[in-house]
Amino acid sequence: MIYLIGWLLVYYYLAVRILVRHRARLLALAVLLFLGGLAIFRGQVGTDTFAYEKAVFDPERMIGIEPGFQLIIFLLKSLIADSVFVIRGVTAIFTLLICWFVWRADDDELFFVMAFIVPVFFYTFSMNVLRMGIASAIFLIALQLDRKKENRKAIILTFMSILFHYSMVFAILYLWLIDERIDGKYRALGVFSIIVMVLLLVVVNEAYFATKFQNYAVIEPPGMLSGLSRVVLCVILLGGVWFSSLPRSEIRRLVLWTLFFMGVFWGITRVSYAGLRMLDLLVFVLAVAIMRAYGRTAQPVDRSVRASWSLAGVVGAAGVYRNMLQESFWSNSPWLPYHTVFDR
């Protein structure tokens, strides 16, 4: 029930924003702090929470984990002796990064994060896939810098996100492929460089990737509806773009590459849970790419795109809640029932 209250507050903010025709930034920050409070003061809640708590003081479990995340854990556990509160510290950092994005956001960015990113991803990024959460928050700030034409800082932060989750390499590849400003030979060079980067990561962290592969191999592949929910989100976002005023060449490139990767990852879900994670990332990076396209063309976001963010936010939130209900029967740290860290 507490999760539903959080979502209702998000849509209360959006309703107030429409009625007063104002950004209502402070109200948005208040909503984020409430959601952050739920995540920071949670007990053993959220699918991977238990696993993260066990890994904090277990060097073997941390082998191969992204160096940026390892650094955060090292700094937090040098200050905090309890692994539970170390992990809550990671959640606090994620919450602060999202609040920082909102504090510096223009009108379109604020609507984007509150109508789509928060409903679909906040609970998951703050209470489950923590490394992806930190990486994605950094990626969003890089997007913001890119829209402000602070390109050097944006590039640094974009590549920094890889230090918190290796899969962000795909996000960089996707943005590179859909950028029509890049000539063919430089596009090919960029793709080659990213492939080399991936191979180096696999070689350097061979044991880690082998373990991940084995873990995904033993997990029963997700049902068709699980993958379908992510596909629906991509279709909704692409529908908004299709009826937008963005250049048609930009729209075609977005649609074609998204459909290509959507098909590839959908196929992977039939044999491995990894495909579902990659579809999640595709939904996220597609939304970022749309936001970035408007930054490049220096035009306000069209109503069709705003409508698609809103609809996708509602559909995505419903999917997240459905997964919470289904997962509560097998996880060591289930989403439901929610309880606080003080109930230990």
Tens of pLDDT, residues 54-66:
989 888 888 788 8
Chain centre distance of CA 162: 13
Q: Please enumerate in sequence order all residues whose Cβ is within 8 A of that of 312, keeping only pairs 6 or more positions apart, or say none.
A: 116, 120, 233, 236, 237, 287
Mean pLDDT is highest, among 179-188, 200-209, 252-261, for: 252-261
Residue 137 confidence (pLDDT) above 70: yes
Highest mean pLDDT among 185-194, 235-244, 295-304: 235-244
Tokens for 196, please give them: 């080399």
| b/e burial code for range 39-72 (CB count within 10 A of at least 16 → b) | bbebbbbbbbbbebbebbeeeeeeebbbebbbeb
Structure tokens at 109: 């960015």
- Pairwise CA distance, residues 35 & 343, whole Å: 19
Task: Give 154's pLDDT tier (boundaries 50, 70, 90).
Answer: very high
* pLDDT score of 114 more than 80: yes
Q: Is the pLDDT of residue 224 over 60?
A: no
Asked if 246 and 298 count as a contact pair (C-beta separation under 8 A), the reply is no
Among 70, 74, 63, 79, which residue's Cα sits nearest to residue 131?
A: 70
Q: Supply the pTM of this predicted model.
A: 0.92
Residue 161, pLDDT score: 95
> Over the stretch 241-282, which tens digit does the pLDDT of each residue have?
999 999 998 899 999 999 999 998 888 877 777 788 899 999
> Which residues, other chains included, contact 341 with Cβ-Cβ below 8 Å and sequence gap of 6+?
41, 42, 43, 84, 85, 88
